[in-house]
Structure 1
Amino acid sequence: MSKVTTYINETVEEMRDKVSWPTYSELQRSSVLVLIGSLIFALVVGAMDFVFDSGLTWFYNQF
């Protein structure tokens, strides 16, 4: 049990003293960047889905 307590205490100490936390403005910029990247990725995947769906629908309607 002492190993678990030691592990938890060392983890808390490291998170408090040794981790470099971002500032609020850095966090905002990173969040906006992730949001924009996710939207672009979603649009690309959606466009690919639309093209493949249209192409396969056209192809299957030929028979």
Structure 2
Amino acid sequence: MAKVVNYISEAFEELKSNMTWPEWAEVQRLTIVVAIFSVLFALSTWGVDEFFAKVLAGFFNWIKG
């Protein structure tokens, strides 16, 4: 257990002293970029899913009738 506590302590120390953190304005800008691309990706995934659902429904209706 002492090794785990030591590891976590050293990890936090490294994050505080050895990391270069971005400026707050850059964090906000990149967050907006990620949010926009996430929405676009979700919409494109939904669109492809709807397209294939309609294609498969049409195919099975064609086989059935």
- Same fold by TM-score greater than 0.5: yes
What residue in structure 2 maps to residue 32 of structure 1?
Answer: 32
Amino acid at match of 2:13: E
> In structure 1, how many angstroms separate the alpha carbons of the residues matched to 2:4 and 2:53?
54
Aligned to 1:46: 46
Query: How many corresponding residue pairs?
Result: 62
Instruction: Structure 1: state its 5+ residue gaps.
Output: none
Q: Normalising by structure 2, what TM-score? A: 0.77
**CA distance, structure 2, for counterparts of residue 8 and residue 50 of structure 1:** 46
Is there any run of 5+ residues in structure 2 with no aligned partner, and where?
none
Q: Runs of 4+ in structure 1 displaced over 2 angstroms?
A: 3-13
Q: Give the superposition deviation at 1:12.
A: 2.9
- Name the residue aligned to 1:10: 10
CA spacing shift, 1:18–1:59, aligned 2, 3 Å: same
Measured at CA, do residues 48 and 20 of structure 1 come closer, stay the same or move farther in structure 2, by a change above 3 Å? same
Quote the Cα distance in structure 2 between the aligned partners of 1:26 and 1:18.
19
